[in-house]
């Protein structure tokens, strides 16, 4: 039997370790977030419903988004053992330059509506962590101000070809003059997708003070204080606003976009030209034949065509077809560093995060974006070590088996 004795006060005190209190509320809540899902929950509490749903939602039944996330969840890893993984290098090379990590920040529209620091927080955080930042045509900060926020880092620009072509051409020239090194020519938005959450919320640009929004604002006065006491939203391209997001997109986009437009932009742009929104092997091949520098497999975060192909499922086939001839990037559904590792193992050169970045932004501004990047970094490094890999280049298809919930049926 175990011999018992009265505990000695000195031994009890030795076991007790009191954590030093942190009186900084923002830092305290961000440090408590261990996953992107945790940041999402904080963001949901701190952001008005219409703005949060614009970020969190997708088109129609939101099937494309849920399937994209399921695809990453349905991955089986195959670790290699007895490898010295005391040091891991997650550096990636993409589009003629380096990134300290195998992911960058994707282009997001209306970002300062999510949290007032907006693209400045994203660009400055990306620069501090050595990863690229992408500014959207529908971003709420100018090309020049993003460059000022990230003067030494890699800045990329996402371009919509608009009805007034000269707007797109001028944006292309401005991005080149500012030193942005890569242009994302976006091809999946000839018209706006049916984003039903936005319609049900009456979400408009700028936000309108209605009885519903006022009631929603009551528990979140800090958001409205930030919105009303900071400079008016500045859009990268739109000279006027007013209406729902879908109406603004439909007014700006042009369903006549074609390969002829691609040729014009190619002639205007001096840097790397990448096509964003590729969703088929056939289009990937045609674009490579047209001489582009890279493609982004993306269904626009599930925000355009619902039931669109899942980029992660499409990745291996596109890599087999054109991977030797171009650089392939993937987005949509990434919520964990292991998602990024799996994509790289299956042949992606790089990945982009959109919602994960915005959840951090809404949770805590620049510090929240830093927390997003740190969470993903820790997850990437830990996953690589547990797989027995030292560098991104060592990741290969043998490390991953995608487990498909959805399989095509004969005759479909």
Residues identified as active-site: 300
CA dist 71 and 299 (Å) reads 14
Phi-psi region of 20 (alpha: psi -120 to 50; beta: other; left: phi over 0): beta
Nearest residue to 198 via CA among 254, 243, 161: 243
Residue 150 in contact with residue 126, Cβ under 8 Å? yes
Torsion angle, CA of 252/187/154/123, rounded to 10 degrees? 50
CA dist 312 and 67 (Å) reads 10
Residue 126 in contact with residue 219, Cβ under 8 Å? no
Chain CA centroid to CA 355, Å: 5
Which tokens go with 228?
């009303």
Which tokens go with 141?
């900060």
Biggest alpha carbon–alpha carbon distance for the chain? 87
SS3 content of the chain, % helix, strand, coil (to 5): 45, 15, 40
CA dist 98 and 128 (Å) reads 14
Q: End-to-end distance of the chain based on CA atoms, in angstroms?
A: 70
Beta bridge partners of 155: 133
Alpha helices in 80-235 (DSSP H): 111-114, 118-129, 143-149, 165-177, 196-201, 211-217, 221-229
CA dist 332 and 339 (Å) reads 10
Residues 6+ apart with CB under 8 A from 79: 386, 387, 388, 399
């Amino acid at each position: 039997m175990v011999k018992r004795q009265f505990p000695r006060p000195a031994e009890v005190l030795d076991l007790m370790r009191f954590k030093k209190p942190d009186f900084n509320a923002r830092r305290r809540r961000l440090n408590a977030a261990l996953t992107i899902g945790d940041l999402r929950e904080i963001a949901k509490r701190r952001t008005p419903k219409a703005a949060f749903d614009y970020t969190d939602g997708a088109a129609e039944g939101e099937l494309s988004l849920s399937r994209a996330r399921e695809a990453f969840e349905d991955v089986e890893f195959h670790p290699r053992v007895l490898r010295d993984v005391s040091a891991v290098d997650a550096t990636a090379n993409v589009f003629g330059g380096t990134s300290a990590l195998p992911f960058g920040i994707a282009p997001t529209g209306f970002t300062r509506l999510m949290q007032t620091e907006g693209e400045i927080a994203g660009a400055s955080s990306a620069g501090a962590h050595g990863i690229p930042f992408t500014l959207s045509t529908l971003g709420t900060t100018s090309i020049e101000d993003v460059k000022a926020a990230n003067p030494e880092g890699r800045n990329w620009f996402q371009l919509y070809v608009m009805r007034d072509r000269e707007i797109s051409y001028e944006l292309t020239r401005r991005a080149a003059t500012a030193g942005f090194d890569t242009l994302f020519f976006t091809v999946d938005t000839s018209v706006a997708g049916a984003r039903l959450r936005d319609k049900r919320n009456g979400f408009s640009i700028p936000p309108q003070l209605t009885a519903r929004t006022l009631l929603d604002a009551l528990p979140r006065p800090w958001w409205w204080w930030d919105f009303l006491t900071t400079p008016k939203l500045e859009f990268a391209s739109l000279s006027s606003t007013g209406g729902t997001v879908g109406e603004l997109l439909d007014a700006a986009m042009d369903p006549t976009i074609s390969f002829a437009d691609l040729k014009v932009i190619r002639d205007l742009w001096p840097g790397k030209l990448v096509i964003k929104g590729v969703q088929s092997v056939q289009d990937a091949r045609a674009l490579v034949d047209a001489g582009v520098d890279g493609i982004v497999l993306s269904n626009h975060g599930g925000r355009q065509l619902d039931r669109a192909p899942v980029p992660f499922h499409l990745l291996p086939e596109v890599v087999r077809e054109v991977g030797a001839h171009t650089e392939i990037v993937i987005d949509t559904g990434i919520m964990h560093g292991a998602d990024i590792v799996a994509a790289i193992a299956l042949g992606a050169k790089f990945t982009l995060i959109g919602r994960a970045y915005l959840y951090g932004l809404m949770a805590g501004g620049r510090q929240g974006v830093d927390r997003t990047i740190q969470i993903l970094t820790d997850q990437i490094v830990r996953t690589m070590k547990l797989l027995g890999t030292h560098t991104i280049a060592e990741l290969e298809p043998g490390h991953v088996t995608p487990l498909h919930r959805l399989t095509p049926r004969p005759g479909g």
